[in-house]
Each structure stands twice: as C-alpha cells, then as structure tokens.
C-alpha cells in the first residue's frame, strides 16, 4: 500500500478557510493541516483542532511581511528591507514555532506559506529550529529549487534533513493539477506514480471559487475511488 498525507495549507488564515478545511477533514480525505499563527482566525483554528484530534497539525511558517509578494502566483520576489539582519527573520520563525507549540496540540510537521522555509538562505535555520522543538517532519521537494533557482545544487538538503534527525515525504504533489499560477518544477497529483509515502498539498475553503473547487476535490467520492483503485491509504505526518 502507498501512504498519502493530504495536507491543507492556510489553517487560521480566515474563518471561511477554517470551515473548508474542517469539512474536507470530516467529509473528505484531508488528514493534516498547517496552522498560520499570525492570521485573523488563529484562535478559531486552535479550537477546531482541539475538537478534531485525528487531524494532524503543523506550523505554516508565514514570513510574507518581510517580502514583496507576487500575489496570485505566491512568489516571494525580494526582501522589503535587504539590510534586515537574517537573525530577525530567524527570531520570528522561532516565535511562530513557540506560539503553535504553546497551544498544547501535538505538532507533527513544519512547512511554509509560499514555501518560504525552503529558501536557500533560510532552510538550514528552519530545519535546526524544527529539530530543536522535537518536531520530526519538514516539507521538502526538489521542484521548488528547479523552478525558482535553476542550476542550484540541492544534494545537501536531504543530507541536512537527515543530520537533524528529520523526515520528509518521498514525493510531494503541489496540488491536483497545474493551474495558471503554477510555478515551474511542481509535480501534480498522479496516483499511478510509484511511492512509499507522499504529501498532497491542498487549499480547501469557503467563499472563494478556487478554494471551493479544492474542497470539492477533497470530498468527492470519485477521489476516494481513485485512491482505492491505486491502493493508496491515508495517514497524517505522525505516521512517517
């Protein structure tokens, strides 16, 4: 059997996103979600997480306020203040980790809004903090570097992850299918691909057409039939 973690990003971003994620968990295939600590619906997300103990919870590291962001694509273009010491960003990362841990909810993984944690100048520090707080899983996929940093050596990253005692899934699917805002290098859900374990990133929600479409994917009976046909079992990051 293949093991698939279906992780909903953006938990805590808004009440309508929270509603969609919980529906995708209760009625669909979402097994895990990543919590934003600095957004308006954080407290609501914590309440919902505590009432849904089977839903895995991670940190969705949000550093958008440090960057110029190409919205719609989700690309971090450049630092707003290029003179800002890197230590200030690392301090913010640790504060977000501490805030999510302070909820008392078991934290299974770390990833980043707009994959900020994967930026070459930040990844090692984020991985070190993940290990420091005894969180076992960090999102990593080679396609991020192939799309945004062509030609950059990436062999050091899996080695770094292992040296910190961390884990990443074997395969990362960046969504159901390629869309207009897709970045180069991303792979999309293909249940026929051989894998032992994989993560499928999803963004269900309410009141936004694209998030409603994601929710429909997550709760569709056809999706469950597809998983069964390809002998794929669902799990959270706690199983890695």
Q: Enter the tokens of residue 215.
A: 């929710």
pTM attached to this predicted model:
0.96
Residue 206: domain span: 2-239
- The count of structural domains within the chain is 1
Q: Give the pairing of strands 75-79 and 67-70.
A: antiparallel
Q: Which pLDDT does position 240 carry in this prediction?
A: 85
pLDDT in tens, 103-154: 999 999 999 999 999 999 999 999 999 999 999 999 999 999 988 898 999 9
For helices 209-219 and 15-26, the axis angle rounded to 10 degrees is 10
Q: Give the pairing of strands 2-11 and 32-35.
A: parallel
Report d(CA 215, CA 208) in Å as an integer.
10
E-strand ranges in 22-142 read 32-35, 56-61, 67-70, 75-79, 107-112, 137-138
What's the N-to-C CA distance of the chain in angstroms?
A: 14
Q: Compute the average pLDDT of residues 42-62.
A: 98
Does residue 48 surpass a pLDDT of 90? yes
CATH number of 228's domain: 3.20.20.370
């Amino acid at each position: 059997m293949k093991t698939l973690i279906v992780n909903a990003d953006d938990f805590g971003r808004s009440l309508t996103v929270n509603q969609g994620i919980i529906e995708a968990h209760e009625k669909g295939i979402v097994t895990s979600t990543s919590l934003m600590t600095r957004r308006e619906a954080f407290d609501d997300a914590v309440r919902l997480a505590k009432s849904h103990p089977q839903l895995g919870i991670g940190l969705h590291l949000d550093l958008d306020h440090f960057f110029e962001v190409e919205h719609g694509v989700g690309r971090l273009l450049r630092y707003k203040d290029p003179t800002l010491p890197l230590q200030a960003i690392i301090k913010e990362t640790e504060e977000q980790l501490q805030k999510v841990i302070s909820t008392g909810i078991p934290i299974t993984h770390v990833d980043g809004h707009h994959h900020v944690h994967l930026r070459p100048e930040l990844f090692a520090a984020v991985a070190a903090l993940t290990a420091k707080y005894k969180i076992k899983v960090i999102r990593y996929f080679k396609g991020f570097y192939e799309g945004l940093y062509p030609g950059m050596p990436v062999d050091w990253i899996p080695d770094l992850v292992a040296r910190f005692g961390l884990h990443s899934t074997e395969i990362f699917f960046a969504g159901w299918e390629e869309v207009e805002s897709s970045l180069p290098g991303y792979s999309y859900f293909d249940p026929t691909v051989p894998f032992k374990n994989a993560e499928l990133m999803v963004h269900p929600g309410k009141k936004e057409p694209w998030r409603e479409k994601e929710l429909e994917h997550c709760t569709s009976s056809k999706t469950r039939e597809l998983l069964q046909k390809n002998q794929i079992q669902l799990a959270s990051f706690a199983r890695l």
